[in-house]
Structure 1
Amino acid sequence: MVRVFLRTLTRIPSYCLSRATFSTDSSSFAIKNVTKSNFDSSLADLRRHIRDSDFVSIDLEMTGVTSSPWRESFEFDRFDIRYLKVKDSAEKFAVVQFGVCPFRWDPTKQSFIAHPHNFYIFPRQEVGDDGSSYEFLCQTSSVDFLAKYQFDFNMCVKEGISYLSRAQEDDVRLQLHSAYENEPSVSPFTAKQSKDVPLLRMADILFVERLKNKISEWRDDLLQIRNGVSRRTLEDSNDSIDQFQTIFFRTHPAIKLNGFTSRQLRLIKSIVEKSFKDLTFIRANEGSCFQQFIVYIDSKRDLELLMKEFKESRLKEAEMKIEAAIGFRHVIDLLSSEQKLIVGHNCFLDIAHICRKFVGPLPSDLEEYVALVKKNFPFIIDTKILLNANDTLQLKMKKTSTSLAKAFAVLCPHIASGVGSFGSAHTNSVAVEVQVDDMRSLNWNSGAKHEAGYDAFMTGCIFAQSCNHLGINFTSHSMLTKEVKLQSYINLLYLSWSSGDIVDLKTGNTRTESSAFNGLKIQQPKILFPNIVLIWGFPSKLKAQEIKESLTKVFGLTSVTSIFHLDKTAVFVQFSKPELVSDFLKLKSKIEKKNDAIYVLHPFSDLLEGGLTGAACYEVYKEICGSPISKPLFADQAEASLQMIPRQQKLLEKD
Structure 2
Amino acid sequence: MVAVSPLLQRRLLSTSVTKTHHKPHQQWGIKQVTKSNFADTLEDIKSHVSNSDFVAVSLQNTGFFSAPWQRVSPFDTANTAYLKAKYAAERFQVLHFAVCPFTVRASKVTAYPYNFHLFPRAELKMEMPSYSFYCQTSSLISMARQGFDFNSCINDGISYLSREQESAAKIQMGNPILAKNVTESTSTLSVADSVFIERIKSHIKNWKKAYALVRSLRKLVLGNEEYDSRPCMNIDVCSERQAQLVVEMLQEFADDVVPLIIPARGGAMQAVRVVLTSSKEDKDLLQGKLQNDEHELKKKVRGFREVIDLISASQKPVVSHGSLNDLTFIHSKFIAPLPPTVDEFMCSLRLAFPRVIDVNHLMKEISPLRKVTSIPVAISQLKNRFFTPIDMEIPCQAMENEDTIHGQNVVKICELFARLCSILKIDPAAVKSDEEKRASALEAYANIFSPFCTASEEPIDGEIKIWTNNTRTVSCEDLVFLWGFGDRVTAGVLKSLLQESHEAFSKEFDVRLVDNSCAIVIFWQHGLSETFLNTMNKCSDMRGPLREMVSEGLRAAGYETYNRACRLGLWESSLADSLDRTLAESDSASEADSKTKCSDRCNEWIINLDDL
TM-score, scaled to structure 1: 0.59
Q: Find the residue that maps to 1:429 and give its secondary structure.
A: coil
Q: What is the aligned partner in structure 1 of residue 374 from structure 2?
A: 403
Which amino acid in structure 2 is aligned with residue 8 of structure 1? V
CA-CA distance at 1:347 after TM superposition: 2.8
User: Is the alpha carbon distance of 1:624 and 1:556 closer, same or farther for their aligned partners in structure 2, counting shifts above 3 Å?
Assistant: closer
For residue 565 of structure 1, the aligned residue among 497, 500, 513 is: 513
Q: What is the aligned partner in structure 2 of residue 631 from structure 1?
A: 572
Q: What is the aligned partner in structure 2 of residue 328 from structure 1?
A: 304
Whether the 8 Å contact between 1:495 and 1:502 is mirrored in structure 2 is no
Q: Which runs of 5+ in 2 are unaligned?
A: 1-13, 178-227, 230-274, 276-288, 592-612
| Alpha-carbon distance in structure 1 between the residues aligned to 2:38 and 2:100 | 15
CA-CA distance at 1:366 after TM superposition: 1.9
Q: Find the residue that maps to 1:389 and give its secondary structure.
A: coil
CA-CA distance at 1:358 after TM superposition: 1.1
For residue 487 of structure 1, the aligned residue among 433, 440, 444 is: 440
| Alpha-carbon distance in structure 1 between the residues aligned to 2:559 and 2:427 | 49
Q: What is the aligned partner in structure 1 of residue 453 from structure 2?
A: 501
2:463 counterpart of 1:464: no
Residues 198-223 of structure 1: per-residue CA shift (max 9 Å, x gap): xxxxxxxxxxxxxxxxxxxxxxxxxx
Q: What is the aligned partner in structure 1 of residue 316 from structure 2?
A: 340
CA-CA distance at 1:352 after TM superposition: 1.9
Q: Find the residue that maps to 2:364 and give its secondary structure.
A: helix
Whether the 8 Å contact between 1:55 and 1:104 is mirrored in structure 2 is yes
2:40 counterpart of 1:41: yes
2:56 counterpart of 1:57: yes
Whether the 8 Å contact between 2:89 and 2:325 is mirrored in structure 1 is yes
For residue 534 of structure 1, the aligned residue among 456, 462, 481 is: 481
| Alpha-carbon distance in structure 1 between the residues aligned to 2:411 and 2:507 | 52
Whether the 8 Å contact between 1:102 and 1:116 is mirrored in structure 2 is yes
Q: What is the aligned partner in structure 1 of residue 338 from structure 2?
A: 362
Q: Find the residue that maps to 1:436 and give its secondary structure.
A: coil
User: Is the alpha carbon distance of 1:7 and 1:357 closer, same or farther for their aligned partners in structure 2, counting shifts above 3 Å?
Assistant: farther
Whether the 8 Å contact between 2:561 and 2:579 is mirrored in structure 1 is no
Q: Find the residue that maps to 1:527 and give its secondary structure.
A: strand
CA-CA distance at 1:615 after TM superposition: 3.3
Residues 154-180 of structure 1: per-residue CA shift (max 9 Å, x gap): 222221111111222233334555999
Q: What is the aligned partner in structure 1 of residue 395 from structure 2?
A: 435
| Alpha-carbon distance in structure 1 between the residues aligned to 2:356 and 2:584 | 39
User: Is the alpha carbon distance of 1:538 and 1:102 closer, same or farther for their aligned partners in structure 2, counting shifts above 3 Å?
Assistant: same
Residues 516-565 of structure 1: per-residue CA shift (max 9 Å, x gap): x9xx85x5975232122223344446655347635852445416712222
| Alpha-carbon distance in structure 2 between the residues aligned to 1:128 and 1:645 | 44
Q: What is the aligned partner in structure 2 of residue 122 from structure 1?
A: 119
CA-CA distance at 1:70 after TM superposition: 1.0
| Alpha-carbon distance in structure 2 between the residues aligned to 1:374 and 1:574 | 36
CA-CA distance at 1:134 after TM superposition: 2.1
Q: What is the aligned partner in structure 1 of residue 143 from structure 2?
A: 146
| Alpha-carbon distance in structure 1 between the residues aligned to 2:509 and 2:22 | 63
Q: What is the aligned partner in structure 2 of residue 607 from structure 1?
A: 549
Whether the 8 Å contact between 2:464 and 2:474 is mirrored in structure 1 is no
Residues 388-439 of structure 1: per-residue CA shift (max 9 Å, x gap): 3269xx7xx8x994732134446679xxxxxxxxxxx99x734332223387
CA-CA distance at 1:481 after TM superposition: 9.2
CA-CA distance at 1:568 after TM superposition: 1.8
Q: What is the aligned partner in structure 2 of residue 83 from structure 1?
A: 82
Residues 134-163 of structure 1: per-residue CA shift (max 9 Å, x gap): 222222222222222112222222211111
CA-CA distance at 1:632 after TM superposition: 1.0
Aligned residues with identical type, % of pairs: 28
Q: Find the residue that maps to 2:133 and give its secondary structure.
A: coil
| Alpha-carbon distance in structure 1 between the residues aligned to 2:23 and 2:72 | 44
| Alpha-carbon distance in structure 1 between the residues aligned to 2:300 and 2:383 | 40
Q: Find the residue that maps to 1:563 and give its secondary structure.
A: strand
User: Is the alpha carbon distance of 1:620 and 1:556 closer, same or farther for their aligned partners in structure 2, counting shifts above 3 Å?
Assistant: closer
Q: Find the residue that maps to 2:441 and give its secondary structure.
A: coil
CA-CA distance at 1:32 after TM superposition: 0.7
Which amino acid in structure 1 is aligned with residue 112 of structure 2? H
CA-CA distance at 1:119 after TM superposition: 0.6
Which amino acid in structure 2 is aligned with residue 487 of structure 1? S
Whether the 8 Å contact between 2:508 and 2:524 is mirrored in structure 1 is yes
For residue 325 of structure 2, the aligned residue among 349, 353, 367 is: 349
Q: What is the aligned partner in structure 1 of residue 561 from structure 2?
A: 620
Whether the 8 Å contact between 2:479 and 2:520 is mirrored in structure 1 is yes
User: Is the alpha carbon distance of 1:132 and 1:537 closer, same or farther for their aligned partners in structure 2, counting shifts above 3 Å?
Assistant: farther
Q: What is the aligned partner in structure 2 of residue 372 from structure 1?
A: 348
| Alpha-carbon distance in structure 1 between the residues aligned to 2:521 and 2:486 | 16
Q: What is the aligned partner in structure 1 of residue 68 from structure 2?
A: 69
Whether the 8 Å contact between 1:348 and 1:493 is mirrored in structure 2 is no
Q: What is the aligned partner in structure 1 of residue 497 from structure 2?
A: 549
Whether the 8 Å contact between 1:623 and 1:645 is mirrored in structure 2 is no
User: Is the alpha carbon distance of 1:29 and 1:569 closer, same or farther for their aligned partners in structure 2, counting shifts above 3 Å?
Assistant: closer
Which amino acid in structure 1 is aligned with residue 441 of structure 2? S
Which amino acid in structure 2 is aligned with residue 337 of structure 1? A
Whether the 8 Å contact between 2:15 and 2:389 is mirrored in structure 1 is no
Whether the 8 Å contact between 1:120 and 1:160 is mirrored in structure 2 is yes
User: Is the alpha carbon distance of 1:483 and 1:53 closer, same or farther for their aligned partners in structure 2, counting shifts above 3 Å?
Assistant: farther
Whether the 8 Å contact between 2:364 and 2:454 is mirrored in structure 1 is no
CA-CA distance at 1:79 after TM superposition: 2.9
Which amino acid in structure 1 is aligned with residue 32 of structure 2? N
1:289-300 mapped onto 2 (5 Å cutoff)? none
Which amino acid in structure 2 is aligned with residue 617 of structure 1? G
TM-score, scaled to structure 2: 0.63
Whether the 8 Å contact between 1:341 and 1:480 is mirrored in structure 2 is no
Q: Find the residue that maps to 1:459 and give its secondary structure.
A: helix
1:193-272 mapped onto 2 (5 Å cutoff)? none
User: Is the alpha carbon distance of 1:586 and 1:26 closer, same or farther for their aligned partners in structure 2, counting shifts above 3 Å?
Assistant: closer
Whether the 8 Å contact between 1:127 and 1:322 is mirrored in structure 2 is no
CA-CA distance at 1:321 after TM superposition: 5.6
| Alpha-carbon distance in structure 2 between the residues aligned to 1:591 and 1:614 | 11
CA-CA distance at 1:101 after TM superposition: 1.1
Deviates more, 1:460-469 or 1:85-94: 460-469
User: Is the alpha carbon distance of 1:160 and 1:614 closer, same or farther for their aligned partners in structure 2, counting shifts above 3 Å?
Assistant: farther
CA-CA distance at 1:62 after TM superposition: 1.5
CA-CA distance at 1:58 after TM superposition: 1.4
Whether the 8 Å contact between 2:109 and 2:415 is mirrored in structure 1 is no
Q: Which runs of 5+ in 1 are unaligned?
A: 11-22, 181-249, 252-304, 306-312, 414-424, 593-598, 651-655
| Alpha-carbon distance in structure 2 between the residues aligned to 1:601 and 1:557 | 12
Whether the 8 Å contact between 1:126 and 1:162 is mirrored in structure 2 is yes
CA-CA distance at 1:38 after TM superposition: 1.0
Whether the 8 Å contact between 1:343 and 1:383 is mirrored in structure 2 is yes
